[in-house]
Chains A and B, each alone.
Chain A
Amino acid sequence: MINGGKNMLLAGVGGQGILLASEIICKVMMTAGYDVKKSEVHGMAQRGGSVTSHVRYGKKVFSPIARKGDIDILISFEKLETLRYLDYLKSNGMVIINDAELYPPSVNLGDATYPEDIPETVRKYFEIVKIVNASDIAVRAGNIRTVNTAILGVLSAYLDTIEAGIWESVIRTSFPEKVIKENIAAFNLGRKA
């Protein structure tokens, strides 16, 4: 924990809405009065590649990226990507895993196999592991493209110092008018999941 804040790492696959999700977290923390920084790398046809976003908030934040072993919460949008960044977590860190599988090229081609029982592997190292089916939540919220907001809902339940109202107000300003309702619904379903 840095100055009363947290280090988070969002991980997943290009196109899953990770950058928007980390943007929303940052704006929530800003609204709550924290200093905040986030960092990711874009370019070079990231579509389909592994994507991460570091988010750090606290009284004063220097580095926009956390070092390995210093992440409080790993938020993984895809199961395999959870494994790739496990070494970033603190020993008492928590993991939120979206129960989604997206095959990398080597698996598609049959040259590699997609690891089995990823949640079990993660549980060997960490006590607090939350598995969530965000696609299912998104469908229930009325729009499959609200997966990232559903995951933010799950995360929000673990950040009890931040009022739900702040999340909602930031979400309202982060999406086009016509999809706000579904995103708020996905957030609330995620929060209760």
Chain B
Amino acid sequence: MEISMVVDTKGLACPMPIVKAKKAMSGLNAGQIMQVLSTDKGAVNDFTAWVKQTGHELVRHEEDGGVYAFYVRKV
């Protein structure tokens, strides 16, 4: 999986992870994948819902040592 952009929101609380991800999304071309890193556990449900609402694709998400990584493909 080729990642075109990494958005690091570690340590930031809601709503900043999605605010930053949304801003970064506008700099992506269709088909490109963005990785968003967050330490906010609540981000899992929020990201899933946000990506669904925006019509993009949440390719997958994973957790490693308290850091959540979301891979979002711009449609």
**Do A and B belong to a common assembly?**
no
Q: Which residues of A contact B (CB under 8 A)?
A: none
**B residues with CB within 8 A of A:** none
